[in-house]
A and B are shown apart, each in its own frame.
Chain A
Amino acid sequence: MLVSSVWVGGGLSARNYVEVFGNPQIWVLFRNSITLAALTTALAGITGIILGVLIIKTDMPVGTLLAAAFSVPLLFPPYILAVGWFEILGRGGMLSRWTNAAIGEMTSGWLFGFPGAVVVLSSAFLPIVLLLTITYLRGVNPTLEEAARLSYGPFAVLRQITIPLIRPGIVLALTLVFLLTMGEYGAPAFLRLNVFPVASFTQSSALYNFDAATAAATPLIGVVLAGLFVEQKALGQRSYSFRWARPQMSQLIPLGHMRVPVVIGAMMLALLFVGVPIAGVLWRGSSAAALSEAIERGASSAVHSVLYATAAATLVTGVGFFLAYLIQRRALIGWRWLDALGLFLFTLPGTIIGIGLISLWNRPSTNWIYATPGLLVFGFMAQYTAIGTRMVAAGMSQLSPSLEEAAEVAGVKWFRRVFGILTPLLRPATVAAWVATFVFCLRDVSLPLLLAPPGQDTLTARTMTLMANGSPELIAALCLLSVTLALGPVTVAGIAWRFARRLA
């Protein structure tokens, strides 16, 4: 992509870059993207951290249930939340019908702008902050907090001991939310917000100008690299880890008379961030006629979605396992770069990865991959290998290398050490990595739009193409289908997990 973008008319030229950076519109887009990402990070960050602390560190009731409710948006593409809000706040939405058209006009103007996009993307990415905050809080050594409690009150301990200890997790979460918002295509496109990924998609898809799209994407690549640099700096030599073992918990902070108001506030927030948009989609799309049309138009695409996600999740978990081994066991010089590269690709907008793959494979000699779903699976692998790698690496970090060392001393070969010892012990981490990758592939929009072969689109891509003059009922019903498709496997995996734990 980069070579092609500077190779114009048979020679080196900066023409594409001069044209792109000389265009004032690019800087407007850049400012819009930065503003959107900053506001989303602030809202999702503050809300997610506070909720995480309340759930883990206080005696607030129904914490697990609330964490699950706030995490639901992670299962489907953010544009579904945008569609849900549109059904509530749009010109013909629920609010406009219940009140009057003028209010509908006002709320529609609010939705189709920064305020709407910030709320939609904050609710979509809040689970990342929440889950990472919970994970890091569970990893804090309780003896440090208990020692501090001898001299200080619980809130002072929280402020001066606990929060600084989970700072790497917070930085990681905020960096991820910032970068994922910068790269998000579906929701801003639906909300008609002029941001970088939408412009990049237009350059590549509407104008099919890959070189200009590459040039236009470079500021975004710069932001991604800067974000990763910040994350690496904040983490230092540490690598974050999930604790699969049951954590030792310190004493919970009593909320006292604030217990009920706090839990009601958290529930109201869950209702606002998750319940309202899903209710909007349900309200518009749950009629028998709409669901029947959605199934008729989207069933085969849903099957494709599941098959592509299965293939990609399986390959990502397999590749991720070996990459995790290389990173965790420091088995390769430059392992840190390998880790950073995976995270870089994860945060890179899908449109850029898609454009790169098309540029590489769109030629007769490589038609065997270009004309097949293999190209899309490659795209998913490029984007999501970091999930498999990081999750398996986190599981691996809980295992002592002495197990392998003992086997090595006993003469067991590397292949058997890995598949006879590590694989069985890492089964929970591997299954979790597979499910997470599956869900991310299932909810992806921009890669299938660019890379799915003719007649074999995914449900998310089909919903986006049907949005052109498709009835709101059909679009809402297709969104419901997407939600069901994601919830199904995750629910099954959750039940199986609990069942297996109970048996163990």
Chain B
Amino acid sequence: MGEGCAEKLAAVFAMARSTVKHPVKNVICVAIAAVVLAGCGTSHKNAVTVYVSEDQVFSEPILKDFEKETGIKVNAVFDTEEAKSTGVMNRLLAEKNNPQADVYWANEPVRADVLRQQGISFEFRPENGREIPDQFKDSQGFWTGFSARARVLLVNQNVKGKPSGVLSYVDPKMNGKGVIANPLFGTTTAEMAALFSVWGDEKGNQFLAGLKRNQVKLSTGNGESADFVASGQFDFALVDSDDAVDRLRHGKAVELVYPDQGEGEIGMLVLPNAVALIRSSPNPDNGKKLIEYLVSKQTERKLALADCAQIPLHPGVTPPKELKPIEQTRTMKVDYATLGAKLQAIQPVLKHWVGY
């Protein structure tokens, strides 16, 4: 408890004691003291508030390190599994006229770009992100990408005739063998937006219809998809690279296939984390410091070594040993800004497809 809090608490007690008689005094004292104590952190001047859609278990240690190194208190809001990666973004949208956050740490850039389109984020180009390829940054500086996940195919080792790309889902030979996470949430939404963007709406809709025709199982998330493949219930799944690495590290009978790597093929979708400064935020200077920290090589190294096994975007930072460096793969050429608009445009289509 800080000195300010102790003073506030003492003042509350003194006031209550001098003005109110027993026993209401006790009730008021206890209630106010608890609220004052609980609220002491909120008025912290040397603080930064960050809304995080990267999993708490991976993002929190990075934020703790930032606290230790800078002395700036980090107040974070994390997403639940059920809210997937959309909860805090939507909270930012709801708080547009009453911003509480300084920084948004998104686990993919599509939703960070939605904030740009809605006028919620603010232009800031971090010095530490200079070496990150332009493909992974907003051209106007509304968000900066770092530490990526790739969308890869996780395939059961016992399967004959392995899938090679996303179209394997609609291959009649693979009928009933594929599983994919609910496209309304998380990175699968981004994947769908990317496919609609690269292929066009007509082929995108055909793909969705093909998924149903081919009896593709819908799972609650990428982790569950990966478990289905690892247990042999399904042959393959499109998952995030960290889900794939996790199953490999646990010795499951699975292998990782980089999708659509052939000549002329679309390549795999790469989804970097993205960080954005919030317009009219309470502590913009501390927000900028946190952004500089997050996009640094040091943070990328930590996230590569952590269980989330993320792929560094800075040249020269070693990736997790199970994954290839980003420059050795064929990546999908997408404009994340277009993807943001596409994501919003196809939301009704996806809702209808899922049955919401």
Q: Which A residues fall within an 8 A CB radius of B?
A: 23-25, 91, 101, 105, 189, 192, 198, 201-202, 205-210, 297, 304, 307-308, 310-311, 314-315, 317-318, 358, 362-364, 367, 370-374, 377, 419, 423, 449, 453-457, 462, 464-471, 474
Q: Give, as a whole number of angstroms, the nearest-CB distance from B190 to chain A.
A: 15
B65-100 interface (Cβ within 8 A of A)? 73-84, 86-87, 90-91, 93-95, 97-98, 100
Closest 9 CB pairs of A and B: A455-B75, A208-B90, A311-B34, A454-B75, A307-B38, A465-B78, A314-B31, A205-B83, A310-B34
User: Do A304 and B80 touch across chains, with their CB atoms under 8 A apart?
Assistant: no
* A202 contact set on B, CB distance < 8 A: 82-83
Query: Is B39 interfacial (CB 8 A cutoff)?
Result: yes
Identify the stretch in B49-57, B122-130, B159-167 within 8 Å (CB) of chain A at 4 or more residues.
B49-57
Which residue of B31, B56, B76, B97 is within 8 Å of A363 (Cβ)?
A: B97
A-B contact pairs, 28 of them (CB 8 A): A91-B231, A198-B82, A205-B82, A206-B84, A206-B90, A206-B185, A208-B87, A208-B91, A208-B93, A208-B94, A297-B60, A308-B34, A310-B31, A311-B38, A317-B27, A358-B94, A370-B98, A371-B100, A372-B42, A373-B39, A377-B35, A454-B51, A464-B81, A466-B57, A468-B56, A468-B57, A470-B55, A474-B57
- Complex Cα–Cα for A205 and B307 (A): 27
Known contacts A206-B83, A208-B91, A318-B31; A454/B100 CB under 8 A: yes
* A423 contact set on B, CB distance < 8 A: 23
Q: Give, as a whole number of angstroms, the nearest-CB distance from B24 to chain A.
A: 7
* B22 contact set on A, CB distance < 8 A: 419
Which partner residue on chain B sits nearest A367 by CB separation? B98
* B87 contact set on A, CB distance < 8 A: 205-206, 208
Which residue of B42, B79, B80, B93 is within 8 Å of A453 (Cβ)?
A: B42
Q: Give, as a whole number of angstroms, the nearest-CB distance from B68 to chain A.
A: 13
- Complex Cα–Cα for A297 and B95 (A): 27
* A91 contact set on B, CB distance < 8 A: 227, 231
Q: Mark B2-15, 1 if CB is under 8 A from A, else 0.
A: 00000000000000
Known contacts A206-B82, A469-B57, A470-B57; A454/B31 CB under 8 A: no
* A465 contact set on B, CB distance < 8 A: 56, 78-80
- Complex Cα–Cα for A390 and B307 (A): 50
Further contacts, 8 of them, CB under 8 A, given A91-B227, A201-B82: A205-B91, A208-B94, A308-B34, A318-B31, A372-B35, A454-B76, A462-B56, A468-B55
Known contacts A363-B97, A373-B38; A207/B220 CB under 8 A: no
User: Do A468 and B34 touch across chains, with their CB atoms under 8 A apart?
Assistant: no
* A377 contact set on B, CB distance < 8 A: 35
User: Do B100 and A469 touch across chains, with their CB atoms under 8 A apart?
Assistant: no
Q: Mark B99-120, 1 if CB is under 8 A from A, else 0.
A: 0110000000000000000000
Query: Is B209 interfacial (CB 8 A cutoff)?
Result: no
User: Do A455 and B73 touch across chains, with their CB atoms under 8 A apart?
Assistant: yes
Which residue of A189, A210, A456 is within 8 Å of B75 (Cβ)?
A: A456
B24-45 interface (Cβ within 8 A of A)? 24, 27-28, 30-32, 34-35, 37-39, 41-42
Scoring A24, A209, A315 by chain B CB atoms within 10 A of each residue's CB, the highest score goes to A315
Which residue of A198, A201, A207, A363 is within 8 Å of B98 (Cβ)?
A: A363
Which partner residue on chain B sits nearest A319 by CB separation? B27
Scoring B47, B83, B95, B231 by chain A CB atoms within 10 A of each residue's CB, the highest score goes to B83
Which partner residue on chain A sits nearest B74 by CB separation? A455
User: Do A419 and B231 touch across chains, with their CB atoms under 8 A apart?
Assistant: no
Query: Is B58 interfacial (CB 8 A cutoff)?
Result: yes
- Complex Cα–Cα for A391 and B55 (A): 41
Which partner residue on chain B sits nearest A445 by CB separation? B80
- Complex Cα–Cα for A449 and B78 (A): 9
- Complex Cα–Cα for A367 and B282 (A): 12
Which partner residue on chain A sits nearest B243 by CB separation? A469
- Complex Cα–Cα for A245 and B302 (A): 63
Query: Is B355 interfacial (CB 8 A cutoff)?
Result: yes
Known contacts A206-B86, A469-B57; A454/B23 CB under 8 A: no
Which residue of A297, A311, A469 is within 8 Å of B55 (Cβ)?
A: A469
Scoring A198, A367, A454 by chain B CB atoms within 10 A of each residue's CB, the highest score goes to A454
- Complex Cα–Cα for A91 and B247 (A): 14
* B81 contact set on A, CB distance < 8 A: 189, 464, 467-468
User: Do B74 and A314 touch across chains, with their CB atoms under 8 A apart?
Assistant: no
Q: Give, as a whole number of angstroms, the nearest-CB distance from A185 to chain B.
A: 9
Known contacts A423-B23, A454-B76, A466-B56; A101/B86 CB under 8 A: no
Which residue of B23, B75, B86, B101 is within 8 Å of A207 (Cβ)?
A: B86
* B231 contact set on A, CB distance < 8 A: 91, 101, 105
* B76 contact set on A, CB distance < 8 A: 454-455
User: Do A25 and B42 touch across chains, with their CB atoms under 8 A apart?
Assistant: no
Query: Is B223 interfacial (CB 8 A cutoff)?
Result: yes
- Complex Cα–Cα for A279 and B174 (A): 42
User: Do B75 and A464 touch across chains, with their CB atoms under 8 A apart?
Assistant: no
User: Do A374 and B57 touch across chains, with their CB atoms under 8 A apart?
Assistant: no
Which partner residue on chain A sits nearest B73 by CB separation? A455
Q: Give, as a whole number of angstroms, the nearest-CB distance from B39 to chain A.
A: 5
Q: Give, as a whole number of angstroms, the nearest-CB distance from B81 to chain A.
A: 4
- Complex Cα–Cα for A308 and B28 (A): 14
Q: Give, as a whole number of angstroms, the nearest-CB distance from B211 to chain A.
A: 18
Which residue of B21, B23, B58, B101 is within 8 Å of A469 (Cβ)?
A: B58
B290-325 interface (Cβ within 8 A of A)? 307-308
User: Do B95 and A362 touch across chains, with their CB atoms under 8 A apart?
Assistant: yes
Q: Give, as a whole number of angstroms, the nearest-CB distance from A168 to chain B.
A: 32
Which partner residue on chain A sits nearest B61 by CB separation? A297
User: Do A314 and B27 touch across chains, with their CB atoms under 8 A apart?
Assistant: yes
- Complex Cα–Cα for A206 and B84 (A): 7
User: Do A308 and B42 touch across chains, with their CB atoms under 8 A apart?
Assistant: no
- Complex Cα–Cα for A315 and B33 (A): 12
User: Do A456 and B41 touch across chains, with their CB atoms under 8 A apart?
Assistant: yes
User: Do A192 and B94 touch across chains, with their CB atoms under 8 A apart?
Assistant: no
User: Do B24 and A419 touch across chains, with their CB atoms under 8 A apart?
Assistant: yes
* B74 contact set on A, CB distance < 8 A: 455
* A471 contact set on B, CB distance < 8 A: 57
* A208 contact set on B, CB distance < 8 A: 86-87, 90-91, 93-94
* A192 contact set on B, CB distance < 8 A: 220
User: Do B34 and A307 touch across chains, with their CB atoms under 8 A apart?
Assistant: yes
User: Do A454 and B34 touch across chains, with their CB atoms under 8 A apart?
Assistant: no
- Complex Cα–Cα for A311 and B27 (A): 9
Q: Give, as a whole number of angstroms, the nearest-CB distance from B306 to chain A.
A: 11
Q: Give, as a whole number of angstroms, the nearest-CB distance from A394 to chain B.
A: 20
B192-235 interface (Cβ within 8 A of A)? 220, 223, 227, 231
Scoring A23, A201, A469 by chain B CB atoms within 10 A of each residue's CB, the highest score goes to A469
Scoring B27, B34, B97 by chain A CB atoms within 10 A of each residue's CB, the highest score goes to B34
Which partner residue on chain A sits nearest B219 by CB separation? A192
Which partner residue on chain A sits nearest B90 by CB separation? A208
* A23 contact set on B, CB distance < 8 A: 356
User: Do B94 and A362 touch across chains, with their CB atoms under 8 A apart?
Assistant: yes
- Complex Cα–Cα for A189 and B308 (A): 23
* B55 contact set on A, CB distance < 8 A: 468-470
- Complex Cα–Cα for A360 and B130 (A): 43
Which partner residue on chain B sits nearest A455 by CB separation? B75
Q: Give, as a whole number of angstroms, the nearest-CB distance from A373 to chain B.
A: 4
- Complex Cα–Cα for A318 and B27 (A): 7
- Complex Cα–Cα for A286 and B228 (A): 28
- Complex Cα–Cα for A209 and B355 (A): 17
Scoring B22, B39, B47 by chain A CB atoms within 10 A of each residue's CB, the highest score goes to B39
- Complex Cα–Cα for A400 and B203 (A): 79
* B86 contact set on A, CB distance < 8 A: 206-208
